[in-house]
Amino acid sequence: MVELAFSILASDFAHLADEVATAERGGGTIVHVDVMDGHFVPNITLGPPMVKSLRAATTLPLDCHLMIENPDQFIPAFAEAGADMISVHYEACRHLNRSLQLIADHKMLPGVVINPATTVENIVEVLPMVHYVLVMSVNPGFGGQKFLPRSVDRIRHLARLRQEMGLNFRIEVDGGVAHDTVASVVEAGADMLVAGSAVFQKGRTEENARDFLRVAREAEALRSFSA
């Protein structure tokens, strides 16, 4: 079943617990947490203290997307704070296999992320050890960007590899995923849909989440029908 991983980057941080509860009422099942360091990406967001507060505010899984240099240095702190899933960038890890193993050693689900300019072939060797692959459909760093259409082919390619290799990692997609783009990524094989600006909107968050999921589930039904 496809899931909405709502990105709190687009929420009102001053009312974070309420924002999360509202998105959950709309059907969101994963909290997507964008961690940015001002080096790997040109923006700064939040770190383990915020994850610790979120942990106390929700029982939903916390999916931490580390857009940071030297992620190994911070993986234990995110585990301690209560993260359930951590994804690290192929482009940020000198020893990707080691970083993914470190996440698993800390009892969290490991994910690998690829930027729009990175081809799927680069991560083939680590696919057997990941729980999910995050395909960036914008250049990381900011919410509210325009979806890059070539991402659909990259998701399709990954879904084909998953089948050929007999693996069952999940495919997450992040960036510009909204009511008008979500059907194409689901049709291509995505199962975890990150959405920030398409969901969080004062007074409309719950409704936005519900509408988003309705479109995604219709595309999922068509996908299983044509499989």
Ligand X SMILES: O=C(CO)[C@H](O)[C@H](O)COP(=O)(O)O
Annotated binding site for a divalent metal cation: 32, 34, 65, 174
The annotated binding site for substrate is made up of: 7, 65, 141-144, 174-176, 196-197
Between 91 and 130, how does the x/- string for binding to ligand X read (CB under 6 A)?
----------------------------------------
Torsion angle of alpha carbons 33, 118, 44, 196, nearest 10°? -40
CB-nearer residue toward ligand X: 130 or 177: 177
d(Cα 133, Cα 170) in Å, to the nearest integer? 6
Residue span binding ligand X (CB under 6 A) among the ranges 47-55, 79-87, 92-100, 193-201: 193-201
Listed residue (8, 104, 92, 89) closest to 50, CA to CA:
8
- Which residues 25-64 are close enough to bind ligand X by CB under 6 A? 32, 34
Active site residue 174: yes
Q: How many CB atoms lie within 10 A of CB 119?
A: 11
Using rule CB under 6 A, residue 145 touches ligand X: yes
Mapped onto helix, strand or coil, the DSSP state of residue 140 is: coil
DSSP annotation of 70 reads S
Q: Hunting for tokens 């993260």 — which residue is that?
A: 83
Least CB distance from residue 163 to ligand X, whole Å? 27
Per CB under 6 A, the list member of 194, 209, 216, 219 interacting with ligand X is 194
Tell me which of 34, 37, 63, 191 is the catalytic residue: 34
Per CB under 6 A, the list member of 38, 42, 144, 149 interacting with ligand X is 144
Burial 172-185 (b: 16+ CB within 10 A, else e): bbbbbbbeebbbbb
Per CB under 6 A, the list member of 198, 209, 213, 219 interacting with ligand X is 198
Using rule CB under 6 A, residue 9 touches ligand X: yes
d(Cα 216, Cα 199) in Å, to the nearest integer? 13
114 with 136: CB under 8 angstroms?
A: yes
d(Cα 209, Cα 199) in Å, to the nearest integer? 5
List residues binding ligand X (CB under 6 A): 7, 9-10, 32, 34, 65, 138, 140-145, 174-177, 194-198
Which residues does the annotation mark as catalytic? Answer: 34, 174
